[in-house]
Structure 1
């Protein structure tokens, strides 16, 4: 019989107890505790560490090791994703992308989380060809952790994160780049919306009412208070568009027309009030807008609906 030990070093004191408990639960599920494994954790002046040890015969040591390595690696991978990943991302944003304002960091991290906290990651997004979802990230970490544990029975988590995870860090960097692009686009969009809101605010109303009829998809009709097409000679009053490559062009055309007309009130007749362009119009014109899901005008242009008459400001 000989002492067989694995030491996980450089564990944050904040997590050392919970991590030890998770490792013990995993070993219990494998019935490895029956082999008289002990799990302990200690602190030194610089860091905490977890020690797993057992007295094993030369014959049983390889079998026990092969049994426990995937589970141990899985626990450590979950710990990295849950407790360390956000810190790695913030470090990337601060050191490589030079963001230091808390407001910017928190906003960008929010976009990162939308991508990272999914099963498939960003593979469905056109800007990235990535399948770095949660399952994939854990798989990468488990593989690298098992390699590290096969090389040595002493694993420094700090060193592992710093030197053994280049592919993992590269993927997080890709996510950060995507998140920054989304953040900058959203900020520019909000600035543009604020400018339009101000322009609408200072502009006097030219006509009392506009009825914006959303027939579905990207097909809109703009009518006056008498339900007549608004001066089609001055601007394109009817919109019968195919799906455009960039929605922003489509939105600009409708918003530009409404701003040119400058109505005191806009009644939006639609079966899809959550459509992006409709939400944009409501944001720009604010209390001038009323969304109608069913009324007599809706009945004429959109057909019958199951809902009763309902106006939402």
Structure 2
């Protein structure tokens, strides 16, 4: 593959800016760049004496390694990750790749203060990956003063690639679970669609946490055993262990309308119910029934959309 000279020049300028900020250039070191038809090289040059070189190279190498590591993470990591997904995990469809890469992002940027990141092991952290790169770059710079960027990326990144492989595996697992979940939701939507409504109204009272009460239009407790559930249960339990009895009960009783009384409309199970029953659901947080079962709403609850 032919070297992109404009890219090499851009990288060169970036590295030089960083080295000036670190006062490496002023210490007597300069960075030279050269490229052949297929390879780009960074060459370290110094006007210092051997004694002076020994005195400053301990500072130069880790700083240069840090600059190059940051470059690899910023400019190369996404393409390395995509190549892993294509070559090792055999994902080629653009839609799949983009979706999986979306699941990679929280893991890729872990350790950077992303509050919405999932709970991940430290091995996924960006600082850990950066240190892996720095260590490998330090070794390479100790071996030669002429570093091939492409050669380093191809032959010296095993530990770094292993880190990205863990992220890819995590993202694929998340992607597959979410896809199965969406398929399951679609199945439940289908059941809801083909069933005729058995009762006109259900009031789903969310008292907080995982405590729910299901009432009919007369505000009486609903007994799901009174309804024919054989079709639903037989179909659902073949392939999927669906443990959420609230959703199971609602599908069994098949209401025409569901009024969800809650102070936490963003709770996952409530979002799931709304997704399954779609326009049959109405979320309420400040009606008379809410006041009776949930207590008087705070002012901010009443003002919320």
TM-score relative to the length of structure 1:
0.83
Let me know the Cα RMSD of the aligned residues. 2.5
CA distance 1:265–1:86, shift in 2 (3 Å): same
Name structure 2 gaps, 5 residues minimum.
228-240
Q: What is the aligned partner in structure 1 of residue 106 from structure 2? A: 114
* 2:61 pairs with 1:69: yes
Alignment-derived partner of residue 25 in structure 1: 17
The answer to whether the 8 Å contact 1:210/1:225 transfers is: yes
Q: After alignment, is 89-98 or 277-286 more displaced?
A: 89-98
Measured after TM superposition, the shift of residue 308 of structure 1 is 5.4
Does residue 45 in structure 1 map to residue 45 in structure 2?
Answer: no
1:191 to partner: Cα distance: 0.9
Contact 2:204 2:258 in 1 (8 A): yes
Distance 1:147 1:38, change over 3 A: closer
Report the CA distance shift for 1:309/1:32 in structure 2 as closer, same or farther (over 3 A): closer
Matched with 1:207 is: 199
Q: 1:234 to 1:110 in 2, by over 3 A?
A: same
CA change 1:288–1:180 in 2 (3 A) is same
Is 2:201–2:216's contact at 8 Å kept on the other side of the alignment? yes
- Maintained 8 Å contact 2:122/2:128: no
The correspondence of residues 1-313 of structure 1 with structure 2, limited to 5 A, is 13=5, 15-119=7-111, 124-125=119-120, 129-231=121-223, 233-234=225-226, 249-251=242-244, 253-306=245-298, 307=300, 309=302
Q: What is the CA distance between 1:59 and its match in structure 2? A: 1.6
Conserved? CA contact 1:11–1:49, under 8 Å: no
Q: What 5-or-longer segments of structure 1 have no aligned partner?
A: 1-9, 236-247
Give the secondary structure class of the aligned counterpart of 1:229: coil
Distance 1:67 1:11, change over 3 A: farther
Alpha-carbon offset, residue 87 of structure 1:
1.4
Deviations 1:129-182 (A, max 9, x none): 543311111011111101110011121222222222222211211111111111
Contact between 2:82 and 2:97, CA under 8 Å: does it hold in 1?
A: yes
Partner of 1:5: none
The CA distance in 1 between the partners of 2:149 and 2:258, in whole Å, is 60
Higher strand share: 1
Is the CA contact (8 Å cut-off) linking 1:295 and 1:309 kept in structure 2? no
Indicate how the Cα distance of structure 1 residues 278 and 45 shifts in structure 2: closer, same or farther if over 3 A, else same. Answer: same
Greater displacement, 115-124 / 68-77: 115-124
Report the more deviating stretch, 215-224 or 51-60: 51-60
- Give me the whole-angstrom Cα distance separating, in 2, the residues matched to 1:123 and 1:290: 30
| Cα distance change on mapping 1:183 and 1:62 into 2, 3 Å | same
In the TM superposition, what is the alpha-carbon distance from 1:285 to its structure 2 partner? Answer: 0.5
More helix by share: 2
Paired positions, count:
287
Looking at structure 1, the residues matched to 189 and 304 of structure 2 have their Cα atoms a distance apart, in angstroms, of 23
Higher alpha-carbon deviation: 75-84 or 159-168: 159-168
Counterpart Cα distance in 2 of 1:289 and 1:31: 64
Deviates more, 1:225-234 or 1:194-203: 225-234
- Matches of 2:212 and 2:269, distance apart in 1: 11
Alpha carbons of structure 1 residues 211 and 14: separation in structure 2 relative to 1, 3 Å: farther
